[in-house]
Structure formats: C-alpha cells, structure tokens
C-alpha cells in the first residue's frame, strides 16, 4: 500500500509530456496474440495495468522483450492456452479483450470475469451478444466466460451486429474476434473513441481489413492470417493529458502539455474555455494558463466525441472553484461519484442525486486524509490536494498507478510538492 503526501497551494508551471494511452495499449497487447510473428510496439505507458496485461501474456507463454524507451516486442507464437484464470485477470477489467483475441486465434476462450474500477454494474452483455452473432456458443457462469466457435473448422462466421449500448469494450472485442472470421462483419452503433481507431490501425498493420473505425459503422473483412508488426506507436493518453490540463487550471498555473493530439481533447478544451481558462494549442501541444475567475458550467458525460466519463471527477474538482452552482450529469457509467464523499471532507460543497451532482463554489479546500476510491476519482483527489490549503494524504494510490505513468515525477517536474510514501498500515 502506498500513499501520496501533497502540500497544496503551488501553481504548476513548466512543461510535461504525456505517455501512451492505457485504453489503447491494453487491447493492442491482447491483439498481439493474433500475430504469426513478433510485434514491436512503442509509446507503451509504464503503468500497473499494462504490466498486468504483459504478465498475463508471459504466463500464457508469450516472449516479451522490454527494449527500453517505452518499447516492447511481443512474440506470441508459443501461446498455446485459450484460458485465463481468475488469479491472472482479477485486477484488470481490460483482460476481457482476451476473449476476442483467443476466439480469433483458437476458436475458443475461457476467461474469468474482469476486475477494474467499481463504477456500477458494468455488464458485458454486448460483447457476448456479438460473439454469439459471430457463431460462438457463449456461457457466462461461475465468474467466467466460456466461449466456443460452433463451426467444425473453429472459425467464426461474419455477421451484422447492432450494439444496443455504445461500448468501447464491445466494439474493440468484436473487432478482435471478427478480424479472422469468414466473410464481412458489420458492427453498427460503435464507439468512436480515439483508442478504438488506434486498435483498428494496429490490427490493419498486422494485415487485418477493418474500415470505418472512428465512425459508428465498422466493417471488417476476415483474413486467414495476421502477421507481425515491425513498429507501431500507440497514441497519447487522452485522459492523462486532460488530467494535467485540469491540474494546471486548478492551481492557477501555466503548463504546456506535450505529446498530445489536440483534436482528442476538444470536448475538454471547449469546456475549459467556457469556464474562462486560458487555452492555447499547437500541432502536438496544449498550453493551459490561468485567465482569472473560473466560471460555472454544466457538464454531461457522453461517448466520444462527447465529454469523457473518465474526466468527470477531475472537472468536478475544478468546478468547486467556480462562483455559483454547476450541474454534472453522468450518463455513461452507472455510478461514478464515490470520490465526492472524499472531496466533501476537504470542504467541497457537492450534492449527489442519482446520476447527477450539483457542485457549488467557490469553496476553499483544506488538506486532510482521503482514500482513493477508483482510478479517475484518485486523479481528482490529487488535483484537489494540489490546490488545497495545507497537506493532504491520499491513501491507496496503487489504484492511481494503474493508469498514470510516473505521476509523481511528472507533477514534481512542474513544481508540485508531492511525495510517495510506503503506507505501513
């Protein structure tokens, strides 16, 4: 167990660089199971979730070389098992991508059900419905998914799939499963997140035929084999970038964030401008600077290109400094407001009612002891601590390490007073 000790009140100033995208890296590592040769991938973030996914592949028999400079080579030729047991996958929700990858490679999969952040019920019925449409017999029971292609040749059969819910996980999992299916699969009502496009690009660089990623209709023409990849570079992490943009704004700082795709940040950039925060952008950087008083704003989370649910906790912290009341509506996950209880202990004025929160400000936040409820809730507490008066202790920060590469080093680089301490309790 680890904690952060943060002394607030310091305006962040300088430059920091964003790492590769967690939610692209996890399925891309799983996708490497489909290649008949080695895949070299760069801009891999050094985070706990990625290490967990690499460990799973190693235990399945893959050779993984860490080549330095955030680059890895995965050779999955020796993977012979289509089974990922609970001890392998328990902490990692992204491990459900192994179902799609195993189905495409072996025509069968046994994968224990995922862990990850507690954000409500988070069913995977759309993944399972899609696999069934591709000619797979699926059973979800006793905490695991067992899936078997019904055809004698073990290959999946293309089909038309309409997703009832816009789901990043289902869209990517079905792309994985369908890329070696016989015929053309059409998935409608797809998620359009940048990481969906990144996974499609990676699979296409292996020889897959996927068109339309980034729109709500994706067409996949199955191919018999997929080859290795000489070099693929993962996109920058949209949510890590957004978290530092808000940290800069919340501390009244002036920070230039590099290795960023400004188009991916548009919903956040527009909201920050509406809130009177200074934003300047170039080809691969965004500068955030304080332009005065934070204005109130209403925020509603939506699938991309809407405002990301993964940025909802962080923007709520910033809105606690606005003069007046802002409304935050969560419409992607079932429940994502646990962090508000911790924020209230720091002095924030927040009322949660179902999927809506009202935050009134400006409130002076004060340092105290708080606990990380989930990954992005933890990031929000870090931002709150950076702007609070006095010292804040944030417990259970190993949850934050799941998704933020070197958060302590990066924040210290722009002037934050943050330390990681081993927690004896």
Known catalytic residues are 117
**Does residue 45 interact with ligand EPU by CB under 6 A?**
no
**Does residue 123 interact with ligand EPU by CB under 6 A?**
yes
Residues 297-316 touching ligand EPU, rule: CB under 6 A, are 309-310
- Closer of 131 and 232 to ligand EPU (Cβ): 131
**Does residue 332 interact with ligand EPU by CB under 6 A?**
yes
Residues 161-200 touching ligand EPU, rule: CB under 6 A, are 165, 167-170, 191
Q: According to CB under 6 A, which one of 62, 124, 161, 387 is a site residue for ligand EPU?
A: 124
Give the residue nearest to ligand EPU (CB): 169
**Does residue 41 interact with ligand EPU by CB under 6 A?**
no
Stretch that binds ligand EPU, among 51-59, 72-80, 121-129, 196-204 (CB under 6 A): 121-129
**Does residue 379 interact with ligand EPU by CB under 6 A?**
no
Stretch that binds ligand EPU, among 62-70, 76-84, 160-168, 362-370 (CB under 6 A): 160-168
Stretch that binds ligand EPU, among 54-62, 275-283, 327-335, 390-398 (CB under 6 A): 327-335
**Does residue 246 interact with ligand EPU by CB under 6 A?**
no
Measured CA distances, 226 to 24, 221, 421 (Å): 19, 13, 45
Q: Name the minimum Å distance from CB 76 to ligand EPU.
A: 20
SS (H, E, C) the chain: CEEEEEECCCCCEEEEECCECHHHHHHHHHHHHHCCCCEEEECCCCCHHHHHHHHHHHHHCCEEEEEECCEEEEECCCCCCCEECHHHHCCCHHHHHHHHHHHHHHCEEEEECCCCCCCCCCCCHHHHHHHHHCCEEEEEECCEEEEEECCCCCCCECCEEECCCCCHHHHHHHHHHHCCCECEEEEECCCCCHHHHHHHHHHHHCCCEEECECECEEEEECCCCCCCEEEEECCECHHHHHHHHHHHHHCCCEEEEECCCHHHHHHHHHHHHHCCCEEEECCCEEEEECCCCCCCCCEEECCCCCECHHHHHHHHHHHCCCCEEEEEECCCCCCCCCHHHHHHHCCCEEEEECCEEEEEECCCCECCEEECCCHHHHHHHHHHHHHCECEEEEECCHHHHCCCCCHHHHHHHCCCEEEEEECCC
Stretch that binds ligand EPU, among 21-29, 196-204, 251-259, 318-326 (CB under 6 A): 21-29
Q: Name the minimum Å distance from CB 422 to ligand EPU.
A: 24
Phi, psi of 324 (to 5 degrees): 130, -165
- Closer of 55 and 334 to ligand EPU (Cβ): 334
Phi, psi of 37 (to 5 degrees): -135, 180
**Does residue 279 interact with ligand EPU by CB under 6 A?**
no
- Closer of 309 and 321 to ligand EPU (Cβ): 309
Size of the residue set binding ligand EPU (CB under 6 A): 27
**Does residue 375 interact with ligand EPU by CB under 6 A?**
yes
Q: According to CB under 6 A, which one of 26, 136, 315, 387 is a site residue for ligand EPU?
A: 26
**Does residue 377 interact with ligand EPU by CB under 6 A?**
no
Q: According to CB under 6 A, which one of 100, 403, 407, 411 is a site residue for ligand EPU?
A: 403
Q: Name the minimum Å distance from CB 127 to ligand EPU.
A: 5
Positions touching ligand EPU (CB under 6 A) are 22-23, 26, 93-94, 117, 120, 122-127, 165, 167-170, 191, 309-310, 332-334, 375-376, 403
């Amino acid at each position: 167990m680890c904690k952060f000790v943060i002394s607030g009140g310091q305006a962040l100033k300088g430059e920091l660089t964003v790492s590769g995208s967690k939610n692209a890296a996890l399925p891309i590592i799983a996708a490497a199971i489909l290649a008949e040769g080695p895949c070299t991938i760069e801009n891999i973030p050094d985070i706990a979730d990625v290490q967990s996914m690499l460990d799973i592949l190693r235990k399945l028999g893959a050779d993984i070389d860490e080549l330095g400079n955030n680059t890895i080579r995965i050779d999955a030729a020796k993977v012979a098992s289509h089974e990922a047991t609970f001890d392998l996958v328990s902490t990692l929700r992204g491990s459900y991508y192994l179902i799609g990858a195993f189905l495409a490679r072996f025509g069968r999969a046994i994968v224990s059900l995922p862990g990850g952040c507690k954000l409500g019920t988070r069913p995977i019925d759309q993944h399972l419905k899609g696999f069934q449409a591709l000619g797979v017999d699926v059973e979800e029971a006793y905490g695991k998914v067992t899936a078997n292609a019904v055809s004698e040749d073990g290959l999946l059969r293309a089909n038309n799939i309409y997703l009832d819910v816009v789901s990043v996980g289902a869209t990517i999992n079905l792309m994985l499963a369908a890329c070696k299916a016989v015929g053309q699969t059409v998935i409608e009502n797809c998620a359009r997140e940048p990481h969906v496009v990144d996974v499609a690009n990676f699979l296409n660089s292996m020889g897959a035929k996927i068109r339309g990623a980034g729109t709500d209709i994706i067409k996949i023409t199955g191919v018999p084999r997929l080859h290795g990849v000489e070099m693929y570079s993962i996109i920058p992490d949209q949510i890590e970038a957004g978290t530092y943009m808000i940290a800069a704004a919340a501390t009244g700082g002036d920070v230039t964030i590099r290795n960023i795709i400004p188009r991916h940040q548009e919903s956040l950039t527009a909201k920050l401008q509406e809130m009177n925060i200074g934003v300047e952008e170039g080809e691969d950087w965004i500068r955030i600077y304080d332009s005065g008083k934070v204005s109130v704003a209403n925020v509603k989370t939506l699938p991309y290109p809407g405002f990301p649910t993964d940025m909802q906790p962080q923007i709520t912290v910033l809105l606690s400094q606005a003069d007046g009341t802002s409304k935050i509506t969560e419409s992607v996950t079932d429940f994502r407001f646990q962090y508000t209880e911790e924020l209230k202990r720091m002095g924030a004025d927040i009322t949660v009612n179902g999927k809506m929160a009202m935050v009134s400000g400006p409130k002076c936040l004060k340092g105290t002891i708080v606990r990380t409820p989930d990954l992005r809730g933890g990031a929000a507490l870090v931002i709150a601590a950076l702007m609070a008066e006095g010292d804040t202790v944030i417990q259970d920060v190993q949850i934050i390490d799941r998704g933020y590469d070197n958060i302590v080093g990066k924040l210290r680089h722009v002037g934050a007073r943050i330390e990681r301490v081993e927690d004896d309790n």
